[in-house]
Amino acid sequence: MSESKDSSLDKVSETKQRLDKVSDAFCLAKWYQATLHLHNGNTQSCHHVGSHRVHKTDLNARGPMALHNTPEKKLERTQMRKGQKPAGCEYCWKLERQGEISDRTYKSAEDWSMPFLDETAKFDGSEDVLPKYLELAFDNVCNFKCMYCSPLYSSSWEAEIKKHGPFPTTGFYNNMSLFKFQGRSVLPDQDKRKYIDAFWEWWPQLKNELIHLRVTGGEPLLTDETWRLLDELKSGEFKNLNFAINSNLGLSTKIMKKFVDNLNQIRPNVKSVLVYASIDTVGRQAEYIRNGLVEDQFFTNLETLLRETDGKVVASLMITVNALSIFGLKGLMQKIEALRQKYPEAVIAFDTPYLRNPEHLCLHILPPEMSVYIQEAVAFLKQSDYFSDREVNRLERLLSLMKDNPWGKSKLKRLREDFYKFMKEHDLRRKTDFLGTFPELDEFWQDIETHLGRWTFRKLTEFIRPQL
Ligand code: SF4
C-alpha cells in the first residue's frame, strides 16, 4: 500500500533549508556517495555526474581510500563548501533554476547522508572520507543491449560495436576510440584485477561503515565476483547495512532460484535487502528499448522474488524515462498498482529518473504536446490509493522538463536527425521494426525523414554498412 505522507515532502523541504544554510551548492552526495566501476577503474560521486579514472599511481601510493577520494572529487567538495556550483552537477542546477527540488536535496535527505551534515559542514573538502552509499560494478558482462546503454556497461554492446563500429549519428554514438581517449575503456583483465583487488583489500574497513551497498554491472548476477560478495554477506553480520543489487531480471529460472535462495540467507544478516529491477514501459516497446528483455520473463522473475522472499526483500523498479518510454508509462503504472494489490505484504517501490544521455534519446526531442502521455500517467497515479505524494511529484516534474526545451532550434533539429539515424541503424543491426513498434511516432518520424532526405540517408547507410 502507498506510503503517502505529507511528511515526506516536509522532510525534503527542511533538508533544503539546512543545506542552503551551509551553501546553495552543498550536497552530501559528493562526500558520501560513490560509484566504483572496477572494470574500467573509474569513479563518480552520483549517477548524474560523469565518471573519471582513479589513477593507478594514486592507488599504489594511497591505497584503496584513493578509490573514492580522488583529487577531482576533493576539488568539487571544496567548491561546494564555498558556494560554487561544480559544472558536472548541472542536472541538479537546472532543476533548481526551474524551481524544482533536485537530487541535491533528495539525496542529502537520506539516512546515509543527513546524519553527517553537521560534521561535514566543518570540512573544507580536502579530507578523506569513507563512502556511506557505495555503488559497485565489478564488470560489464551483460546479456542486454539497452538502447541508451554503452559498451562500458554491457559486454553485448561492446561485441556489437566491435563488429559494426559506432552508430552513424553526428557524434558517432558509442565510439570506443572516444572512450579510450577519455580513459573510460574497459580495462584488460590484469589491470581490471588491480582495482578489484583494491576493493577486496578495502572491504574489511568498508563493511562496517557502509550504510548502503548497491551492486550493479553489467548484469551483476553474470559475474563471479558478485557471487563472492553474496557469500561474504551470507557469512557475516552487517546490522547497519542496507544491501541492494541491480538486475535486468533477464535470468534463467535456475539463476533466479539461486539468487532468491542467497537473498533469503543474507536477509537476517543485514538491515535490509533491495533488488532494483529495470524496466521503462510495457510490451513490445519495453522490449525494443531494453534489447534482450522478454517482458513475460521479467514479470515472472519479479513475482518469484516477491512471492519467495515473503515480503522481506524490497523490489524497486527503475524506470528510465526517455523519448520512447512515455507511451506505455500509464500501462506500467497500472502493472505496479496490480502488483501492489496482489502482494500487499511486499514493498514494491519505483523511481522515474529521466534520461540525459544520449541526448538524441531524451524526452526533449519530442514535440511538447506529447507530454499528454505523461499527464495520463500522472492522472492515473493521483486517482489511485496505491501511490505516494513523492512518487507523483517525481513523475510530475517531467512535465515542466518537457515544456522547457534546453536546446536552440538548430541543436533540436540535429538531435532529431540523430534520433532518426540511430533508429534506422538500430533496425538494420538488430532486425527490429521501429515504426511497427512505435506507431505513436509515425508523424514525427515522417517529418524528420522529409527534412533529412530519404534517398541520401538510405544510400549513405548502404555505403557504410554493406554487411547489414
Ligand atoms: S549536486 Fe546533484 S548531481 Fe551533484 S553530486 Fe549532488 S545529487 Fe549528484
Residue-wise pLDDT for 388-442, tens only, equals 999 999 999 999 888 888 899 999 999 999 999 999 999 999 999 999 999 999 9
Query: What is the pLDDT, as a whole number, of residue 40?
Result: 96
The one-letter amino acid at 251? L
Ligand 1 near 418 CB (within 6 A): no
Compute the distance from residue 13 Cα to the ligand 1 centre, in Å. 17
Segment 346-372 mean pLDDT: 95
Ligand 1 near 356 CB (within 6 A): no
Task: Of 183-187, 209-213, 272-276, 458-462, give the lowest mean pLDDT range.
Answer: 458-462
Segment 42-68 mean pLDDT: 94
Count of C-beta atoms within a 10 Å radius of residue 464: 12
**Neighbouring C-alpha atoms within 13 Å toward the C-beta of 105:** 22
Compute the distance from residue 347 Cα to the ligand 1 centre, in Å. 27
Contact 285, 328 (CB under 8 A): yes
Q: Which of 84, 102, 117 to mutate to test the pocket of ligand 1 (most atoms within 8 A of CB)?
A: 102
Query: What is the pLDDT, as a whole number, of residue 354?
Result: 92
Q: Rounded to whole angstroms, how far apart are CA atoms 291 and 432?
A: 10
* Spatial CA neighbour of 212 closest among 129, 314, 133: 133
Work out whether strand 313-318 and strand 145-146 pair parallel, antiparallel, or are unpaired. unpaired
Strands (E), 306-370: 313-318, 348-351
* Spatial CA neighbour of 229 closest among 205, 245, 250, 208: 245
Query: What is the pLDDT, as a whole number, of residue 9?
Result: 73
CA dihedral sign of residues 160, 163, 168, 173: positive
Work out whether strand 313-318 and strand 348-351 pair parallel, antiparallel, or are unpaired. parallel
- CA angle, residues 270, 272, 273, in degrees to nearest 5: 100
Ligand 1 near 104 CB (within 6 A): yes
Q: Rounded to whole angstroms, how far apart are CA atoms 145 and 156?
A: 6
Average pLDDT score, the chain: 93
Query: What is the pLDDT, as a whole number, of residue 120?
Result: 97
Q: Rounded to whole angstroms, how far apart are CA atoms 396 and 375?
A: 8
Ligand 1 near 46 CB (within 6 A): yes
Paired strand residues for 122? none
pLDDT band at 333 (very low <50, low <70, confident <90, very high): very high
Nearest CA to ligand 1 atom 6: 104
Q: Rounded to whole angstroms, how far apart are CA atoms 308 and 259?
A: 11
Nearest CA to ligand 1 atom 1: 104
Query: What is the pLDDT, as a whole number, of residue 457?
Result: 55
Segment 368-395 mean pLDDT: 96
Compute the distance from residue 29 Cα to the ligand 1 centre, in Å. 6
Cβ neighbours of residue 192 closer than 8 Å, sequence gap 6 or more = 38, 39, 40, 41, 139, 186
How far, rounded to the nearest angstrom, does the alpha carbon of residue 141 sit from its chain's CA centroid?
16
Q: How far is CA 125 from CA 75, 129, 202, 244, in A?
A: 7, 10, 22, 28
Q: Which of 20, 43, 49, 95 to mutate to test the pocket of ligand 1 (most atoms within 8 A of CB)?
A: 49
Compute the distance from residue 92 Cα to the ligand 1 centre, in Å. 6
**Exposed/middle/buried for residue 129 (C-beta within 10 Å: 0-12, 13-18, 19+):** buried
* Spatial CA neighbour of 36 closest among 193, 181, 194, 216: 216
At how many degrees (to 10) do helices 253-266 and 295-308 cross?
A: 30
Give the position, in ligand 1's atom list, of the atom nearest the Cα of 28.
6
The grid coordinates of residue 104 equal 541535491
Give the position, in ligand 1's atom list, of the atom nearest the Cα of 27.
6
Nearest CA to ligand 1 atom 7: 104
Q: Which of 15, 27, 47, 68 to mutate to test the pocket of ligand 1 (most atoms within 8 A of CB)?
A: 27
Q: Which of 44, 45, 117 to mutate to test the pocket of ligand 1 (most atoms within 8 A of CB)?
A: 45
How far, rounded to the nearest angstrom, does the alpha carbon of residue 301 sit from its chain's CA centroid?
20
Segment 117-136 mean pLDDT: 96
Query: What is the pLDDT, as a whole number, of residue 460?
Result: 55
Q: Rounded to whole angstroms, how far apart are CA atoms 417 and 196?
A: 41
Q: Rounded to whole angstroms, how far apart are CA atoms 321 and 301?
A: 22
Task: Of 194-198, 353-357, 400-404, give the lowest mean pLDDT range.
Answer: 400-404
Task: Of 114-118, 218-222, 448-452, give the lowest mean pLDDT range.
Answer: 448-452
Ligand 1 near 25 CB (within 6 A): no
Ligand 1 near 45 CB (within 6 A): yes
Q: Taking 90 as the threshold, does the pLDDT of residue 322 lie above it?
A: yes
